[in-house]
Amino acid sequence: MAAAWARFCGWLILLLLSGCTTSPKTIGVGARVVNTMAGAEIVHASFNGQAIGGSGGEECCISLPAQWRSGMTATIGWVKDPSPGVNPGGVKPPPKGKYGSITAEGARWFEVHEANYVRHRLTLPVPAYEDTCGLSLVFLPCDEVYPLIDCRQRQQVFSGLREKTSAEWRQELARRLGGRMRCDAPTESGGW
């Protein structure tokens, strides 16, 4: 009887201790898409399965680990429109119907247009972060992406860009994050 009681107590202790383990603490942060690619749009993106719209404004919220850990990775998926507003052959969308509605012809045009979207998925290391100001998924030329999370790094990357034209802004932002300007050329730094 004493052996059975000891076994029962042992299992009870193990059961109680297993309930004490905690998963890594997470925080909710705003997220945005930043596109540096001229002539292409990000329709939508995801960070570890959490959706982020491609419109460029900050959305709330996605979960990030409260503390960065060495070896952290993230899976980033995105859908790119390689030719916004134009279908293959340079076909522009037909006029909208009365009151701005989409006509049957417009629906067919959009069907062809969306068939040309390009889907991407990458798993990459998450750069170290201390304090977070949210997540900015910065889409670079050549289908590269940089997850910008750390407040200090975000401030360094975006500072001094306001007075630049959009073309200069895109090029400088891609340069600051180590992106390639020509897709047939390897990165100088080997990526970020």
On the question of pLDDT at 58 being above 60, the answer is yes
Please say if the pLDDT value at position 91 is more than 80. Answer: yes
Distance in angstroms (rounded) separating the CA atoms of residues 31 and 53: 9
The pLDDT score that the predictor gives to residue 41 is: 94
Residue 22 has a pLDDT of: 60
pLDDT at 54: 76
Q: What percentage of residues in the chain have a pLDDT greater than 70?
A: 83
Q: 179 near 143, Cβ under 8 Å?
A: no
Lowest mean pLDDT among 7-11, 145-149, 163-167: 7-11
The Cα–Cα gap between 2 and 152 comes to 61
pTM above threshold 0.85? no
One-letter amino acid of 154: R
Band (pLDDT 50/70/90 cuts) for residue 9 is very low
CA distance 87 to 115: 10
CATH C-level class of 24-82+119-181: mainly beta
Domain boundaries, the chain: 24-82+119-181, 83-116
Q: Is residue 29 over pLDDT 70?
A: yes
Helices within 94-165 (DSSP H only)? 104-115, 151-158
pLDDT grade for 13, boundaries at 50, 70 and 90: low
Mean pLDDT for 102-112 is 93
Is 41 within 8 Å of 56 (Cβ atoms)? no
State the pLDDT confidence band at 7, using cuts at 50, 70 and 90.
low
Instruction: Say what the pLDDT of residue 192 is.
Output: 43
